Every structure is written in structure tokens, then in C-alpha cells.
Structure 1
């Protein structure tokens, strides 16, 4: 028996030795930037390769040496030099970490270093999700000629999708700054302390203190949040981190973006796409999108998502598609099979992928539906006919009330038997007389007057099935004073009718059954998960419950409408 155990141990050792001999692994590479900072990286090459190769680069803030070696080894196995570089200040870097602020310079410093190495053929492709997706776009703020393609998944835009959405600061990622800055790696203990963050949100909400005091409620200073709160507009601080405006016109390399209908950061990933095509109509930019959340999109989906069993064809292999794409760009391989056009999307309920040359081409027309004042039971009618006589719904919201909360917009679960009817306005359409698909972004224009100078509001879109189920399709959350320009606050005029256009919603594709209806829920945002806008016109992070005073009174006029992109 002892002899058998020794033989097994020897075989295991030989196996590990053989695997080590397969690769040349450098796990402590140090890269100097032109500004004198130091970054660390992992480099993995196949030992049998002799000539120079293209490089597959991931730029990573969630430092983990074992994971970096695994990632770079996979790239090496696919015929690339695998490089995983750490954000400044992470892992072996002696510098201070500063999330988002240095990637424009640092990613390009890594690219310059790569092409100076004997194993490099001078061509670099980047890939990866979330922060790594952001880092790819940061590199394209000032494109390096050696960067030939990027494959960003669920890419973040600082100041747009997080830490604020449409200029509303969110609490969902409050602990993230601690997670990535507490040490040279990641602080999983603080990130996973869900009870602490749940308690913090609840205590802050019930205390009524200003949003910029939320860290004092927790008991630990959050200097990054405090810095970000100094930039409530999408100002030059945020604009310097990724391409902005005409920067997109300079981006000519092929790009493959991947995201999901239920990725809470989807508005960032798709803003890159829409801005790229806006400033460069000939952009070579592909999109894959399906019923995935933030983490699922990076893997290729999960069979059950927030209680919803996704279509079988929606399950893909993100990593395989990524390296097929890199082979297509660098080695003349075939384009990934799924990419039959620029926009490639799975139609929920139809169990099929469809393809279009643009987001607008996903639909045949836009269905305009008015938020009428005609009532049927507890619901107002979502009408295809413009009202002939002006009227309005009145909504009162006591912003000082802490016994209730408003605006339940998050899609978990995706399918509900009932909706919370305790607040908000509910509009329901006539049933569709045939099957129809919703494909794209819904948008709208609201006409409203309020007794204050500002408000944060939400619009949630559901399918009401013939069986009486509510299927969450998409939503909008935003601040009224920034709707026309995210870079400049424009306060509302109290008691004057204002036009409030909104469009930064979640793209979705779903086949609706014959007999289904659309449901729109319109509400004011007041809950523990985001800033509370008391409407004084002061900086929202400085307002307190004492600024609530009289309830917020909104008159929502029946000329308000939403537009739904549909394909019959």
C-alpha cells in the first residue's frame, strides 16, 4: 500500500513538472511607466514557441497571482503571449492605487513595454470584463498603434454607470472602493460583509442625514466616495478617464462588445457602442447581447437567471468567442459564428439569435404610447392615441417618510406574480392581437410640473402575460435636472410644466405573446439604495431630511409618452 501511495505521489509530481515545462511563466514582471511609476504583471508563453507572437492582454484591478497565471496560461495555450497586468498600486506595485484615474496612461505604458520584448510581434489585443473592460476603453482615449482590437465585456464607464447612474449616486457598489484599495490584492472579507452594508443602508435611510455622511453612519471613512461626490456632473474629472465626444471618431480598430439585458452596468457598455457609432458611423464595432447579468455575461450565461429559465440557445462560451475573435483579427481565422452582423442579440421567448446592422435596425418601428388619465380599475390606460384634452395625474411623495420606500425597479426576480402597488403610477396597454417582439432601447418624454426644483424618478417596463405574470423588460433611473445634459445641471422651475426626455434605458429583446400587455410604472426614487433628492436645488449629497419640508407634488400630464421599439 505504501509503495502504491509513493508511486501515485511520484506520478502527480511528474505531471506538475510536465505542466510547468509546457510554459515559461514570469509572475513578478515589473514595468516602469514614463512617469516613473511601477506596475506588476504576469507573462506566460508556451515553451515550445520560438518566434514572436501577438499578445493577449488583460488589465486587472482584482489582483490574484494564481488567477493571473491561469488566465495568461489559457491565452498562451491559444497561441498568444498571455499578459495580465495589475492596476497601479496593486499586487507588487509600490505605488498608491487610485481606481480609474491612471488607466489612460498606464495601459498604454504596458502596451509600449510589450512591443519592446523579443517575444512580441508588435501586435496586442485586449479582453476582459467590468473594470478590465473599462481599462480597454481607457487605453483608446489615446490609442496606441500596437493595440489592434479589444473585447470588452460589461465595460464600466466611471461617472455614468457607476458610482452613479444618470447622475444619481447608487449604494449597490458602496463597498467596492474598500474591496480594491484596502490592500495590494482584494479585501473579500469587507466586500462580502452583506449584513454590514445592509445595516448601513437601512440606518442611513432611516436617519435622514445627508448622503455625504453615509460613511459616518457606517463608522469608516470612505475617501473615494467623498472624492466622487465632488463630481455630481459628468465633468472633466470623469471625461478624462475614457473616450468622450469626438475622441470616439479616432477609434478605428475592430471591437467586440459583450453585455447582457440584466447587466446592471449595461448603460455603460452600450454607451460606448452608441457613442462610437455616433462619432464614427463606419466603426467596426460588433455587439453580442443576451439574457445575462453582470457576471453571467463574462461567462456566457447561466441556465436560471433571477428565477427565469433562459432560452437554451442563449448559453454561449464568452472565453471561446473571445479567442476566436482574436484568431480572426490576428491569424486570419474565421469570424466567430455568432457574429452574422454588427448587432447580435438573443430574442427571449423565441429561443433564437437575430442579427442587425445597427441598434435602430433591430426594430421595424417605434410604438408611441401615451400616459393617459383614463382609468380602468386601479390602472391608467397606456394609450396608442394621443389624448385630445390635457389633464394630469397628481402624485404626492413625502420625502421625509421612512416607513415606506418608492421605486422598486431592480429586476430580481425577473418574473413576478404581483407588483408592489403601494406607490407609483401604473399604466397598462391594450392586449396585442398578435405576437410581437420588443427589440432595442425604450425611451420617452414626460411632461410634468413639480413644486420643487428637482427630482429623481424611475420608469419601469414590464410585459403582463395572458397568464397574469409580470416579466421585467427594462428600466430607467435618472435625475430630472441632468436629463438634457449630463455635464450641466439645469434645475426645474417650480410649478411650471417641464419637458423631461429620457433615453438611457436598458436594451432588451423579448418576444411577447398574443394577448400580452405592456405595463409602465412611473415613480419617484426614494429608498435605501440611492441618494435622496429633496428638490431644494442644493447639491443633493448635502441635503438632509430637514430639506423635505412639504411633500413633493408632481403633476404628470397625459401628453407624456414612451416609445417602444417593436418588430412584428
Structure 2
């Protein structure tokens, strides 16, 4: 009997257990993901908050605030971005350490006690409202009541009232597009804005930043326009059936034809770009340097430039030049690519500086500058007006002004003349051949780097390094003129912008002129044998000939007539060392970075037809009375 009772009892327990198990296995209403989950982050070195900040037009902007744990009376650094605030504040794993959340320069600021704030600009990612590429200020080009200036003001107003750990002082910072929004915060700035650090900012996208350089269209940026404006979250990726962009652009012929094939006619910004090839009021009204020059600079600002910036090489120096009379203006130029100031920067391509120039800049210039203006009781710091890295000798220097030599400066530019026998001379030509010539063939354009030319943002692309590529590939072409100095017996130091003055003719009715200033290494270079004979580009740019007289009003080039052209090259602080030689190259295409000039004058090159592209005979003159030269900003140290 006892065994029967025991079996019955155990059966009852089993039935209860089975019922409980069945109940545990039932699916909860709504599934296994809770309506709201609050992760536990008590062990993290920071506290992260997401807020939606209302603007004056009631549009809310998604904002992420990262507060170092335990922070009190801390200053805030604001980065307004079109590239996702969430990603900016979760740079790596999003793990417990500050380095897990932020890239190097922002992690250093957070470790220094700064509250880091990132915000999606209106219309991008999680922010509401309409996205407009480089939204102009309220006025003729913007009929609304809001712009990046007002959004920065409203954001700062909210932050100083709603972040209890802050001391009420705010700095703005950002690179590239975010550098542009940083500059916009300086227009009618909020009283709590005490410092700004625009790094490689977009300033004038027609003269020398992202979309054009002196009228030549930077068609390699089409992929950026496509992904940035096709969808709010930039998830529509550019694609191509070819790995080599040279082949892609040659296949379609013109930038306009490729855009049509890619469906870019649906994109309002692309339509605006292609409808405004000249420097008309549309582009003039957006020139940030001109905007900044209208009022005194009241916020201490560190304008950060990169000598080999492959995207926005024009912006920082131009913005600084517009306001440099203000004691609040400071200029830095490092030996970097676009944005490299934010990360480890001990080298660029073949160049090795021997130490981390990015960290040196941040620890000795940027952070002391910000501390002095944003932290309670911070010691006063005298930030030099100019801090620039000297390539060639690989050393930092402080100066009272920049450029150190220029037309109108105490130290004038010094002409380096193109001469016969492919030579260069500091003496004016008095005799010899009148010109050198080559045939520019749009069917075989000069590349901007060795093929294959990968799309800039493709996986494995070395886009960031192309400005320091060895230029020997171009020297070997018959459609590139190359002029070389004798071997230098003393250093030649340039500190400013070289200016190319060409006297040239074309058999066509339009032409591009590309001028490169190059440092040629000795044939034997024991320190680094692979650098023997290396042709390092120091400063180079392009001019679309139709804009030679007036960027806003293009005109055909008179065929066969020698015409004077002036092309201002990017800033450089470089020493050509003894044993090296100076080289100048001249060519008429720089493809596929820039669209091909058909060399026949057409109203809009975006829509040139195949029959418009013709060969042209180009002549560069170097005779007495028709001298071509590059004026160098040579300084004697």
C-alpha cells in the first residue's frame, strides 16, 4: 500500500511540474522583446543620455550627451553632424571605457573632464525636419526661419539649462561638414559659446573644397552626394559595375550622364549643383569666409588645416584669413590628411614624422586652448596666432602671422620661372625657345593617381593618401610638361600659398590647367631607399580656363592666343632640403577626380556630348615678355 501512495504522490508532483513548465513555455503577449529595456551601466566610466532638443520652429533634433562619471562643473563640447550622433558617440564597441565610445581626440577631451555632445543636424538620422546640404543662412537662399546658426544657438540654450553637471560653458568642434556647422555656430553666437575648433571645414565648395576647385567639378564626390542625400540615414550606397573609377567615368562620358544613369536626377541637391557650374550668387551667398568677415569674431577660434587635405584643403586657411585681424583667431596647420588631426598621425603614406603629430597638436595646443576658455579656474594660456608643422624638417613652429610671405606681405613672393630644356630658374628668361607644347586628348586623360582609381569611400581605398603619391607616373607622360631645378645646395623654405602664373594657349576654346609644385628626392636616399627619386607633391591645384577672367561669367578661350592665367595653390609650410630638386608639372586633365574638360566651349560641361570632346594642342610659354612662373612664398629663417 505504501508503494501505491508514494507512486500517486510522485505522479501528482509530476503533473504540477508539467503544468508549471507548460506555463513557463507559453509565449508572452508582445513577444520576447520588452516595450522598454533599461541596460545597467553602473560600472561604465561614463553616462550616456539621448534627448530630443526642440528648436525655435518646434522641430526636435536628436542629441546624445556623454558625461564622464562623477563630472561636476564640467564644460561641454558640441559636435553637430550629418553622420549620425549615435555613431559618433559609439565609435567602437560601446563598452565600459571612454575609449570604447569615442574616437581618440574626443576620448582625450572626455578624459580631461569635458561633457561630449553630438547632435544629428535637422533631417538626418533621428532628427526631425528637412535636410538641406550645407543649409545656407536665413536670407535670399533660405526662405525659412532656421539655419545651422539658429540651431546651434537653440541647442546651446537648451544644454546650459538641462545638463546639471555642466558649468554653463560650451565649445563647438567638428571636422569637415561638422567643421562647417562649427563655423556656423560663430554667426550670431550664443553667449555661452566660449570657444570653437573647426577642423578641415567646408568653407567655399566652388573655389576649393568639396564640389569644385576653381570651376573644375570634383566628380569623385558624386558618390558622397548620392549616399548623403538619397536617404535620411545615408543607407543608400553608391554602386558601380567597375572597380576602376577611370573606367566608370570614361564609359558614361560626362558627370551628368553618369548621374542620370544612377538616378541622381531625383536628388534636389544634385540638380542644384549641376545647374550652377559657375561661381554665381548661389555659391557666392554660401561662402563661409565671406559670411564670417561681416562681423567681428567674438569667440576664440582655432582654425585647423591639413597640408594634404584631400577634401577641404581650401576651407580653414580661407576662414582664418577672413578674420585673422581678431585676437580671437588662431591658425594651425599639420602634416595631415582630412581629419587626421583627430587620430594617431605619425605618418602619411611614405612620410614618417617620427612621432604622433596629431597627439602633439591636441595635447600642446588644442586642449590647453579649450581649457583656458571653458574650464573653471583654468590657468591662462597664450595660444600663438599661428602654429604650423614644417614638413621637410619635421618640426613645429609658432609665428605671429600666416602666410609668412605673400603679395602684399613684408616678405614678397619670389618667381621661379619655367625655362627651356625643361628647367627652372629664379632668373627671368632672356632668350631660348618660346614655348613647350603637348597634345591634350580627352580620350586619354591624365589620371590623378596610378590606376586603378578606386572609388574614394570603397573598402580598401587609399583615398586619404593620394596627395602624397609619387608623381613619377605623370612625369613619364608626353602630355605632362615637367620642369626641374638644379640640385639645391641650400634649403628653400616656403610658408604660404604658391601662385602659378601661366602664359599659355590652346587650339581649343576651353581648357583646364593643372599645376603641381613637387619636391624631388635625391636619386640615392640611404635613410629610406625606396624614396630615391621620389616626386612628392607639395602643393597642386586646377583651374578651369573659362573662368580665367570672371568665375561668375565664363567665356570661351580665344584659340591659339597666349593668355595669362593665375592659379593660387594650396598652403604649404615646407623645406626643400639640400640635395633635393624643385619640380613643376603642367597638364590639362586630372581624371577621374575632376571631370574632363571637352576643350570645346559648351554652356554646361556637366552635359557635354561625346562630339564635344576634342584633342587640343597646348602651349606653355617661357620666352622673354611671355614668361610663365610659379611665385613661391620663400622665407629666410
Report TM bin, short chain.
0.7 to 0.9
Distance 1:477 1:66, change over 3 A: closer
Scaled by the length of structure 2, the TM-score of the pair is 0.75
Residue 370 of structure 2 aligns to a residue whose secondary structure is helix
Query: Is 1:173 matched with 2:224?
Result: no
Q: Deviations over 1:327-358 (max 9, x none)?
A: 11123535779x5x322122223232112111
Q: Deviations over 1:153-174 (max 9, x none)?
A: 1112233401112221112322
Q: CA deviation at 1:426?
A: 0.9
Distance 1:227 1:510, change over 3 A: same
Residue 79 of structure 1 aligns to a residue whose secondary structure is coil
- Report the Cα distance in structure 2 between the residues aligned to 1:196 and 1:318, rounded to whole angstroms: 42
Distance 1:300 1:325, change over 3 A: farther
Segments of 4+ moved more than 6 angstroms: none
Task: Tell me, yes or no, if the aligned pair for 1:63 and 1:186 is still in contact at 8 Å.
Answer: no
Equivalent position of 2:42 in the other structure: 18
Q: 2:54 aligns with which of 24, 32, 40?
A: 32
- Report the Cα distance in structure 2 between the residues aligned to 1:367 and 1:289, rounded to whole angstroms: 22
Q: CA deviation at 1:16?
A: 6.5
Q: CA deviation at 1:475?
A: 0.6
Task: Tell me, yes or no, if the aligned pair for 1:314 and 1:351 is still in contact at 8 Å.
Answer: no
- Report the Cα distance in structure 2 between the residues aligned to 1:115 and 1:545, rounded to whole angstroms: 58
Q: Deviations over 1:349-404 (max 9, x none)?
A: 323211211123269653311122x21xxxx12121212258532534354424x5
Residue 333 of structure 1 aligns to a residue whose secondary structure is coil
Query: Is 1:68 matched with 2:89?
Result: yes
Distance 1:141 1:230, change over 3 A: farther
Equivalent position of 1:274 in the other structure: 321
Distance 1:381 1:245, change over 3 A: same
Q: 2:396 aligns with which of 353, 365, 371?
A: 353
Equivalent position of 1:565 in the other structure: 633
Q: CA deviation at 1:443?
A: 1.0
Q: CA deviation at 1:533?
A: 1.8
Residue 503 of structure 2 aligns to a residue whose secondary structure is strand
Which blocks of at least 5 consecutive residues in structure 2 are unaligned? 1-38, 91-100, 136-146, 451-464, 524-532
Distance 1:515 1:487, change over 3 A: same
Distance 1:434 1:185, change over 3 A: same
Equivalenced residues, count: 533
Distance 1:345 1:322, change over 3 A: closer
Give the root-mean-square deviation of aligned CA atoms. 3.2
Query: Is 1:465 matched with 2:521?
Result: yes
Equivalent position of 2:495 in the other structure: 439
Query: Is 1:215 matched with 2:271?
Result: no
- Report the Cα distance in structure 1 between the residues aligned to 2:466 and 2:372, rounded to whole angstroms: 36
Q: 2:276 aligns with which of 228, 231, 241?
A: 231
Task: Tell me, yes or no, if the aligned pair for 2:344 and 2:358 is still in contact at 8 Å.
Answer: yes
Residue 360 of structure 1 aligns to a residue whose secondary structure is coil
- Report the Cα distance in structure 2 between the residues aligned to 1:564 and 1:313, rounded to whole angstroms: 29
Q: 1:555 aligns with which of 600, 619, 624?
A: 619
- Report the Cα distance in structure 2 between the residues aligned to 1:462 and 1:254, rounded to whole angstroms: 35
Distance 1:35 1:64, change over 3 A: closer
Q: 2:340 aligns with which of 296, 303, 313?
A: 296
Equivalent position of 2:30 in the other structure: none
Q: 1:143 aligns with which of 158, 180, 189?
A: 189
Distance 1:74 1:197, change over 3 A: farther
Equivalent position of 1:366 in the other structure: 413
Distance 1:471 1:203, change over 3 A: closer
Residue 471 of structure 1 aligns to a residue whose secondary structure is strand
Distance 1:469 1:214, change over 3 A: same
Task: Tell me, yes or no, if the aligned pair for 1:39 and 1:93 is still in contact at 8 Å.
Answer: yes
Q: 2:76 aligns with which of 46, 55, 58?
A: 55
Residue 533 of structure 1 aligns to a residue whose secondary structure is coil
Distance 1:486 1:68, change over 3 A: farther
Q: 2:248 aligns with which of 203, 225, 239?
A: 203
Q: CA deviation at 1:256?
A: 0.8
Distance 1:30 1:74, change over 3 A: farther
- Report the Cα distance in structure 1 between the residues aligned to 2:251 and 2:56, rounded to whole angstroms: 49
Task: Tell me, yes or no, if the aligned pair for 2:63 and 2:119 is still in contact at 8 Å.
Answer: yes
Query: Is 1:421 matched with 2:476?
Result: yes
Distance 1:312 1:275, change over 3 A: same
- Report the Cα distance in structure 1 between the residues aligned to 2:167 and 2:191, rounded to whole angstroms: 13
Distance 1:83 1:314, change over 3 A: closer
Residue 266 of structure 1 aligns to a residue whose secondary structure is coil
Query: Is 1:430 matched with 2:523?
Result: no
Equivalent position of 1:500 in the other structure: 565
Larger deviation: 453-462 or 533-542?
Answer: 533-542
- Report the Cα distance in structure 1 between the residues aligned to 2:291 and 2:315, rounded to whole angstroms: 17
Distance 1:207 1:239, change over 3 A: closer
Task: Tell me, yes or no, if the aligned pair for 2:505 and 2:563 is still in contact at 8 Å.
Answer: yes
Q: Deviations over 1:214-273 (max 9, x none)?
A: 123446656232321222233333344453436424123211122221111221222212
Equivalent position of 1:5 in the other structure: none
- Report the Cα distance in structure 2 between the residues aligned to 1:96 and 1:211, rounded to whole angstroms: 27
Q: Deviations over 1:489-516 (max 9, x none)?
A: 354333333221111x222223322232
Bigger Rg, which one: 2
Task: Tell me, yes or no, if the aligned pair for 1:407 and 1:524 is still in contact at 8 Å.
Answer: no
Query: Is 1:474 matched with 2:518?
Result: no
Task: Tell me, yes or no, if the aligned pair for 2:63 and 2:118 is still in contact at 8 Å.
Answer: yes
Q: 1:455 aligns with which of 508, 511, 518?
A: 511
